[in-house]
């Protein structure tokens, strides 16, 4: 299995049962990989730190350092701000150094802003899938993302976050983490069905909630969309019970509880991410 959504650095706990921040480095990431018997992890930098929410996830250079030490375990991504000067060169350099995707893209620019669109196109030119977080603060918002997918068809997106997963159901809601039964599929499902370049990752609480809030719907959704979903946890973030995503096994246990057919399970936990990554020319050289 491959966990397609991990970080190292400092994150804030949003659990009421664990107050403060959690800091992990490369040794802890490797401990996680070993303890869960993972084949590899996608290690995601974030372009900026957000001290106001206690978040200091490491940047691209640290991810590349980790990759150079453990190329067999770590799949490196890069992340830059859409406003950065020399963006094209930065991306080219990151690709040269082995980066196989872009993200976690988590900036406060509107998702459909021209600067973001330009960044998304650049990633497409380099064959980098973009792992993007959508909520009310970062890359707002879902409506904007609908515009993005209609404009940018040559770039692969792996979407996640509350702003995306709240749209799994068709009922109108302003809840960040809507609960309860889903009477009809929402717009997120339609986008996954209609856009071959859009995938979603089930990481963090938003993904977990979306696929568990209505188990009948969740099972059908996972089976039908097994070509478009990617397993990830958001390690080392903290779950609502104060445990840690990844080592807490919440995502994998949920997937297992649905008894999906073997092929669907394998696609979600391994094959889909391998299919959409930029090919690994770096190690082949
Ligand atoms: Zn994340």
* CATH code at position 197: 3.20.20.140
> Is residue 271 a contact partner of residue 228, using CB atoms and an 8 Å limit?
no
Residue 44 Cα to ligand 1 middle (Å): 7
**Number of structural domains in the chain:** 1
Residue 284's pLDDT is what?
Answer: 54
* Residue burial 194-214, b: 16+ Cβ < 10 Å; e: rest: ebeebbbbbbbbbbbbbbbbb
Residue 47 Cα to ligand 1 middle (Å): 12
- Is residue 219 included in any domain, yes or no? yes
- Is residue 75 included in any domain, yes or no? yes
Residue 198 Cα to ligand 1 middle (Å): 18
Residue 199 CA to residue 180 CA, distance in Å, equals 24
- Is residue 110 included in any domain, yes or no? yes
Residue 43 Cα to ligand 1 middle (Å): 10
Residue 203 Cα to ligand 1 middle (Å): 8
Residue 173's pLDDT is what?
Answer: 86
- Is residue 285 included in any domain, yes or no? no
pLDDT along the chain (285 residues), means of 10: 98 95 97 98 97 96 98 98 96 97 97 98 98 97 96 97 97 91 96 98 98 98 98 97 97 98 98 96 64
- Is residue 79 included in any domain, yes or no? yes
Omega of the bond leading into 141 within 30 degrees of 0 (cis): yes
- Is residue 284 included in any domain, yes or no? no
Residue 285's pLDDT is what?
Answer: 47
CA dihedral sign, ordered 57, 60, 65, 67:
positive
Give me the residue label for tokens 């889903």: 182
Range of the structural domain that residue 37 is part of: 2-279
Residue 266 Cα to ligand 1 middle (Å): 22
Residue 104 Cα to ligand 1 middle (Å): 6
Residue 228 Cα to ligand 1 middle (Å): 19
Give me the residue label for tokens 């609480």: 205
Residue 79 Cα to ligand 1 middle (Å): 12
- Is residue 264 included in any domain, yes or no? yes
- Helices 250-257 + 204-212 axis angle, to 10: 20
Ligand 1 (single-atom ion) residues, CB below 5 Å? 104, 234
């Amino acid at each position: 299995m491959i966990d397609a959504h991990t970080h190292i650095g400092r994150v804030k706990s949003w659990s009421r049962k664990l107050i403060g921040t959690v800091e992990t480095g490369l040794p802890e990431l490797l401990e996680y990989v070993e303890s869960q018997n993972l084949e590899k992890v996608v290690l995601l930098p974030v372009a900026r730190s957000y001290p106001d929410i206690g978040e200091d996830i490491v940047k691209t250079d640290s991810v590349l350092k980790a990759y150079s030490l453990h190329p067999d375990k770590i799949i490196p991504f890069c992340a830059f701000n859409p406003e950065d000067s020399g963006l094209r060169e930065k991306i080219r350099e990151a690709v040269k150094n082995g980066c196989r995707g872009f993200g976690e893209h988590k900036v406060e620019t509107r998702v459909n802003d021209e600067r973001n669109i330009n960044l998304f196109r650049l990633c497409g030119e380099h064959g980098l899938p973009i792992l993007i977080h959508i909520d009310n603060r970062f890359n707002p918002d879902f409506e904007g993302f609908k515009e993005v997918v209609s404009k940018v068809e040559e770039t692969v997106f792996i979407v996640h976050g509350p702003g995306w997963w709240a749209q799994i159901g068709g009922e109108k809601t302003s809840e960040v983490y809507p609960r309860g039964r889903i009477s009809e599929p929402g717009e997120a499902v339609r986008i996954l069905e209609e856009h071959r370049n859009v995938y979603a990752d089930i990481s963090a609480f938003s993904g977990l909630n979306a696929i568990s809030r209505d188990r009948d719907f969740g099972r059908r959704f996972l089976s039908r969309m097994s070509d478009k979903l990617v397993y990830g946890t958001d390690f080392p973030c903290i779950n609502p019970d104060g445990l840690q995503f990844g080592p807490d096994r919440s995502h994998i246990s949920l997937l297992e509880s649905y008894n999906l057919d073997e092929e669907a399970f394998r696609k979600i936990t391994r094959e889909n991410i391998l299919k959409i990554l930029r090919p690994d020319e770096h190690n082949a050289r």
